[in-house]
Amino acid sequence: MRLEMDVPVGRPAVAMLGSWDPFAGDHARVMGEMVEHAHAWGLAAVAIMIDPAPYIFIHGTRGWPVYDDAATRARLLRDAGIDAVGRLHFTAGDLNGTAEQVFDEVCAHVELAEFWLGSQQTVGPGGAGSHVAVQVQARRRGMGLRVLPPDGARQMGVRVRSLLAEGSVAAAAELVGRVPALTRPAGDTVRLGWAPGRYRVTGGGAALHEVVIAADDCGDCAFRWPSPEFTVLHFVAGPGDAAGRAA
């Protein structure tokens, strides 16, 4: 794993770790609380985004479809008031990583004064990533630890991924509160674990366009970016929605 910060963090920080996909209302609320708390104590508010999500290496892209890409999620975190966003580049070899290894990498870039941990969150597999393991790391590194109360974000994420897997983009957007967005990649091909079929998108204006997600011989799904003039695509309907089927 390798952490890349979007800007240097020049003072001690309060941080959270997660994938935040989809980034929804509960996430924005907690981020706002962390920002307010951090700034009240003269600290920076930092979000460490794991990308790709570890579950993608377990279930594959079709088994763990993403709602927004990393660039979109980083932008949403910034909009929530976060001072710096770190991208923790994750590989299949990191699946057996421990809480100690994660904090070693994070603390090499950020001086952690406090860490906020989800009520069901782990930072690695088994006991090496459990809440107890995180508590050990907090004591060893002299940082505060706050365990957050339960929320519905995890259950909502499961439902959203199920809808994306069947191409029901509009239905997923109703749960999240906004349509999914993807930022134009360096190449023309975008791999996406959604259901194959025709999707209605906007490229920043009101006009609707169409992209076709198709499965290859290996069962992976992808589409070609429709035009270089579009820096972001917003998906409004898919083959699993009534509008998508009608198209």
25, two tokens: 């209302």
Helices within 21-168 (DSSP H only)? 25-40, 54-63, 70-79, 99-107, 131-141, 153-165
247 vs 165, which has greater pLDDT?
A: 165
217 vs 104, which has greater pLDDT?
A: 104
CA angle 66, 106, 136 (to 5 degrees): 105
pLDDT of residue 43: 98
Spell out the domains of the chain, with CATH numbers in brackets.
2-147 (3.40.50.620), 166-242 (no CATH)
* Residue 245 pLDDT exceeds 70: no
pLDDT of residue 187: 83
44, two tokens: 């920076």
Alpha carbon distance 117, 166 (integer Å): 32
pTM: 0.89
CA angle 144, 145, 151 (to 5 degrees): 150
* Residue 217 pLDDT exceeds 60: yes
Average the pLDDT over 144-159 and give the result.
Answer: 89
Average the pLDDT over 80-101 and give the result.
Answer: 93
At residue 180 the predicted structure's pLDDT band, cuts being 50, 70 and 90, is: very high
Digit-coded pLDDT (tens) for 92-114: 988 888 999 999 999 999 999 99
Digit-coded pLDDT (tens) for 34-77: 999 999 999 999 999 999 988 888 888 888 999 999 999 999 99
The answer for residues whose C-beta is within 8 angstroms of residue 152's C-beta and 6 or more apart is 26
